[in-house]
Amino acid sequence: RGIRPAPGYPAGPDHTEKALLWELIDPLANAGIAITESFAMVPTAAVSGWYFAHPDAHYFGVGRIGRDQVEDYARRKGMTVTAVERWLAPNLGYDP
């Protein structure tokens, strides 16, 4: 039992996290799976995610995030606030 949340879905809305997965496991070399500049996977039938095997694991969704959270996240990821706002637009709790 467990869960498989994935980048770009409610529990992990930031598609840019796929870049880290690609660095860690090199899906292009190991399975022929690529990602586009917008982090879409090719072939389109490919899936990615984080796997948590625990009987008490359950899905959740990230709610609205505030400007202070976006600024902190951008700093920790080494991204601009504008870039983070673009990737997380559906989850913003404010108008950028």
Q: What's the rounded Cα separation, in Å, for the pair 9 and 3?
A: 13
Amino acid, res. 59? Y
Q: What's the rounded Cα separation, in Å, for the pair 49 and 44?
A: 15
Average pLDDT for 84-96: 97
Nearest to 47 by CA among 5, 85, 95: 5
Average pLDDT for 31-60: 95
Q: For 25-42, write each residue's pLDDT tens digit.
A: 999 999 999 999 999 999
Q: Specify the pLDDT at position 42.
A: 96
Supply 3's token pair: 């869960």
SS (H, E, C) 66-84: CHHHHHHHHHHHCCCHHHH
The per-residue pLDDT of the chain, averaged, comes to 95
Q: Where are the domains of the chain?
A: 1-58, 63-96
